[in-house]
Amino acid sequence: MNILYVSAEVSPFSKAGGLADVSGALPTELAAKDEQMCVITPLYSIVDRQQFGIYPTGMRNQIMMGNTRFQYHIYESHREDNSNHRIYFIENTQFFDRSGIYTHANGEGYEDNTWRFLFFQLCIIDLLKRGVFHPQLIHCHDHHTALIPLMIRAMEYPASVLFTIHNFDYRGHFSEGDLSLLPRDIAKKVRQFDHTEWSAMAMGLEFADAVNTVSPTYAEELLTQPGLSYELHEKLNSIQDKFSGILNGADEVYWNPLTDPHLSHHYSVKDLSGKKQNKSELQQYCGFTDNPEIPLVGSIGRLVESKGYPLILSSLEALIDRGVQFVFLGSGSQDIAQGLKRFSEKYPKQVSYHGEFNESLAHLIEAGSDMFMMPSKFEPCGLNQIYSLKYGTIPIVHHTGGLADTVIDWDGKFGTGFVFNTYSAIDFLHAMIRALDTFSDKDTWYKIQMNAMTRDFSWRASAKAYQQLYHQLTMGR
């Protein structure tokens, strides 16, 4: 089947979070299952064209946004030597020549994000109109691509559309002014909805042939907790029949301690000595005492409140008193960054904060830490806890969304991590203390590591679920 896979981030070219990891790995897995995957994404100036062999195709055209004409140019990566898996980029310097993907360095979104991603979607519609691509199915991701289902229906294009939600918190709201940028017939359709539903997300829910999110528990939570699906709670419930949850997987080579290209010391469940070397490397990198007996806790993530940083910041002092070492990697909110920085300045031998996007360091933290904290308030799927499990780095997580679907609480007999049920600092602290107490019992800790590292988080099962959904949708057409 010909599939057009449209995403605002694709690893390894561009990445802000988990969407990139999924858009890098899932099409690869589907191409291996004989689907014709054509991935298309913006060509941000941060993408290394030379490293990834990205060249202009010569295809270019213009689209209208409001009364203004904008040019785009199609590039292709020649990195993949696989005719089943092509990767195309849309280039326009005005919209994509930035130092980040969505935000300024201070974590604030670009003021023209609505324009940028509307432009991206209009280019895709233009390419379809011109017959450059002939997909039977279009797979859209998050609000940056969520107007495509409506535009596809409006032009009666003969393809099915699947819309995947990676995070319901970002819905892409439209103001009255934004609507004037849309083609007139599309703006008219949007206006038929209640003003509160003027968002790309609402249109995705309404017009896609099927909608899914990235874990079964998050799907259930969105349907049952109005606090998570906001103004679209009723709408989401009204489309239940076409809504499901499919758990993300992890790339089997790139996020595998035996083959990870970023690690100097590889290891597997059969021999964890490489993990000890990674820990020593990480302790030295952070300027900590290089000692295998001291528990080392890692944390990687976008600095946003929903990732549970308020719980971490209010429990950190108590945990530092217990002699624990912490390494944080993340950028975003200035407040959270300041909080972490203050701790790292006060306790330089125990807290190390890296306010940057650093892919290699992320891999070293996964491999070198003993534990990984991820007390998210909600979590659509979460990938870092999955990577942690694979790397024998025991996760401490809140029982929510994909965290609940992937981490099994250690009950004294079986488990792969430490899970707390109520989103509160005290419950998080108790889970951390439980983990730290267990860490001092080496045999038990090793048992939990074995349990975690032998679980299957490959893309196989999830890719099969997507493939079935693709075929079901196109058969019904």
Q: Helix or strand or coil: residue 200?
A: helix
**CB-count burial class (<10 Å; 0-12, 13-18, 19+) for 297:** buried
Residue whose CB is less far from ligand ADP, 275 or 302: 302
Q: Does 10 bind ligand ADP (CB under 6 A)?
A: no
Residue 474, token pair as written in the block: 């196109």
| Residue 450 beta carbon to ligand ADP: minimum distance, rounded to whole angstroms | 24
Q: Does 18 bind ligand ADP (CB under 6 A)?
A: yes
Residue whose CB is less far from ligand ADP, 208 or 362: 362
Please give the residues from 334 up to 393 whose contact with ligand ADP meets the rule CB under 6 A: 357-359, 362, 381-384
CB atoms within 10 A of CB 383: 26
Residue whose CB is less far from ligand ADP, 160 or 376: 376
Pick left, alpha or beta for residue 319 (phi over 0 → left; psi -120 to 50 → alpha; otherwise beta): alpha
Residue 141: strand pairing partners = 164
Q: How many helices (H) and strands (E) does the chain have?
A: 19, 15
| Residue 376 beta carbon to ligand ADP: minimum distance, rounded to whole angstroms | 8
Residue whose CB is less far from ligand ADP, 378 or 445: 378
Q: Which residue from 206, 209, 176, 208 is spatially nearest to 191, judged by alpha carbons?
A: 176
Distance CA 444, CA 413 (A): 9
Q: Does 301 bind ligand ADP (CB under 6 A)?
A: yes
What distance separates the 2 farthest-apart alpha carbons in the chain?
A: 68
Q: Which residue from 392, 397, 229, 249 is spatially nearest to 311, judged by alpha carbons?
A: 397
Distance CA 295, CA 368 (A): 11
Q: Which of these segments, 17-25, 136-144, 262-270, 413-421, binds ligand ADP (CB under 6 A)?
A: 17-25
Q: Does 149 bind ligand ADP (CB under 6 A)?
A: no
| Residue 36 beta carbon to ligand ADP: minimum distance, rounded to whole angstroms | 27
Residue whose CB is less far from ligand ADP, 99 or 180: 99
Residue whose CB is less far from ligand ADP, 201 or 362: 362
Residue whose CB is less far from ligand ADP, 8 or 30: 8
Q: Helix or strand or coil: residue 73?
A: strand
Q: Does 21 bind ligand ADP (CB under 6 A)?
A: yes
Q: Which of these segments, 29-37, 224-232, 298-306, 422-430, binds ligand ADP (CB under 6 A)?
A: 298-306
H or E stretch covering 282: helix 273-286
Q: Does 401 bind ligand ADP (CB under 6 A)?
A: no
Q: Which of these segments, 15-23, 55-63, 169-177, 233-241, binds ligand ADP (CB under 6 A)?
A: 15-23
DSSP assignment, residue 94? H
| Residue 17 beta carbon to ligand ADP: minimum distance, rounded to whole angstroms | 3
Q: Which residue from 84, 78, 95, 86 is spatially nearest to 42, judged by alpha carbons?
A: 95
Q: Does 139 bind ligand ADP (CB under 6 A)?
A: no
Please give the residues from 232 up to 271 whose contact with ligand ADP meets the rule CB under 6 A: none
Residue whose CB is less far from ligand ADP, 311 or 329: 329
Can you list the positions of beta strands (E) in 332-437?
A: 351-354, 371-374, 394-398, 418-420
Q: Does 300 bind ligand ADP (CB under 6 A)?
A: yes
Residue of 331, 350, 400, 406 interacting with ligand ADP (CB under 6 A): 331
| Residue 72 beta carbon to ligand ADP: minimum distance, rounded to whole angstroms | 27
| Residue 443 beta carbon to ligand ADP: minimum distance, rounded to whole angstroms | 30
Query: Would you give the end-to-end CA distance of the chain in angstroms?
Result: 14
Residue whose CB is less far from ligand ADP, 181 or 303: 303
| Residue 401 beta carbon to ligand ADP: minimum distance, rounded to whole angstroms | 10
Q: Does 285 bind ligand ADP (CB under 6 A)?
A: no
Q: Which residue from 29, 30, 126 is spatially nearest to 471, judged by alpha carbons?
A: 30
Q: Which of these segments, 46-54, 77-85, 222-230, 295-303, binds ligand ADP (CB under 6 A)?
A: 295-303
Contacts of 284 (CB under 8 A, 6+ apart): 290
Total residues at interface with ligand ADP (CB under 6 A) = 18
Q: Which long-range contacts (CB under 8 A, 24 or more apart) does 262-271 make?
A: 262/359, 262/360, 262/363, 262/364, 263/363, 263/364, 263/367, 265/367, 267/367, 268/453, 269/392, 269/449, 269/450, 269/453, 269/454
Q: Which of these segments, 38-46, 151-159, 276-284, 329-337, binds ligand ADP (CB under 6 A)?
A: 329-337
| Residue 343 beta carbon to ligand ADP: minimum distance, rounded to whole angstroms | 17
Q: Which of these segments, 197-205, 297-305, 338-346, 436-444, binds ligand ADP (CB under 6 A)?
A: 297-305
| Residue 403 beta carbon to ligand ADP: minimum distance, rounded to whole angstroms | 10
H or E stretch covering 470: helix 460-475
Residue 11, token pair as written in the block: 């690893």
Q: Does 74 bind ligand ADP (CB under 6 A)?
A: no
Residue of 86, 139, 275, 302 interacting with ligand ADP (CB under 6 A): 302
- Contact residues toward ligand ADP (CB under 6 A) are 17-19, 21, 300-302, 329-331, 357-359, 362, 381-384
